[in-house]
Amino acid sequence: MFSPDSRAELDQILKRYPDKRSAILPTLYLAQRDYGYLTPKAMQEVAELLELDPTEVNTVAAFYTLFYREPVGKFVIQVCEDLPCALCGAEKIVSHLRERLGIEVGETTADGLFTLQTVMCVAGCDRAPVMQVNLKYFEGLTPESVDKILEELRSRSPEEEK
């Protein structure tokens, strides 16, 4: 179920558009926040709230990379390995993270803390290599700075991220 906060936010969001359907991406974000990822039940609820067919909601969710339809870690690490970052050593950052987290790209650590993904350009090429953690930028990465970031994240409550 959507939290009362999300319900209230949705009411505000709906005022922005002449057509409820336009609220599908913002509503899916709320559902993802409340459910952790887009479970079939979450998408069903989005469909009911927006008076849409659940299949349509599912199709739209599947089109976009920032909607997760499987469980993800509390921190989703998205390392850019697109051209400008790749020219500046993104590959090393990815290997370092794989090694430190003990997982492959696309996997989640056993403690449910981190999911590691590689992504296309995130508009941080002047400070490459770059990654986002729960969509927050971390730039000018080195293996050492990555270690510090991981350490800091482990000590942080993911609630702060929302």
Partner 1 sequence: MAEYIILRNRDFPDIHKLDVYRENGGYEGLAAALKKKPEEVTAIVKDSGLQGRGGAAFPTGVKWGFIPKDVFPRYVVANADESEPGTFKDREIIEKNPHQLIEGIAIACYAVQANTAYIYCRGEFKYPARILEEAIQQARKAGYLGKNVMGSDFSLEIYTHLGAGAYICGEETALLESLEGKLGQPRQRPPFPAVAGLYGKPTVINNVETLANIPPILIRGAEWYRTIGTEKSPGPKIFCLSGHVNRPGNYELPLGTSLRELIYEHGGGVREDRQIKAILPAGASAPLLTAEHLDVALDYESVVAAGSMLGSASIIVMDETTDMVWLTLKTSRFFRHESCGKCTPCREGTYWLVNILERIEHGQGTREDIALLERVANQIALSRPFCLLGDFATTVVLSGLKYFREEYENHIGEKLALSFPAHPQPLVESGRTAIPPSRDLPR
Site residues (CB under 8 A) for partner 1?
Answer: 16, 18-19, 21-26, 28-29, 50, 59-60, 63-67, 81-84, 86-88, 91, 94, 105-106, 118-128, 132, 135-137
Q: What is the DSSP letter of 162?
A: -
The tally of CA atoms less than 13 A away on the side-chain side of residue 147 is: 6
**Residues sharing a CB contact under 8 Å with residue 136, sequence separation 6 or more, in sequence order:** 161
Question: Shortest Cβ distance from residue 19 to partner 1 (Å)?
Answer: 6
Nearer to partner 1, 19 or 111 (CB): 19
**Residues sharing a CB contact under 8 Å with residue 70, sequence separation 6 or more, in sequence order:** 37
Nearer to partner 1, 8 or 66 (CB): 66
Nearer to partner 1, 10 or 88 (CB): 88
For residue 87, give both structure tokens. 């020219």
Question: Shortest Cβ distance from residue 145 to partner 1 (Å)?
Answer: 17
Question: Shortest Cβ distance from residue 144 to partner 1 (Å)?
Answer: 20
Question: Shortest Cβ distance from residue 3 to partner 1 (Å)?
Answer: 19
Nearer to partner 1, 98 or 109 (CB): 98
Q: How far is CA 88 from CA 16, 83, 123, 133, in A?
A: 41, 9, 14, 19
Question: Shortest Cβ distance from residue 35 to partner 1 (Å)?
Answer: 16
For residue 59, give both structure tokens. 């199709």
Contact present, 100 and 131 (Cβ < 8 Å): no
Nearer to partner 1, 14 or 113 (CB): 14
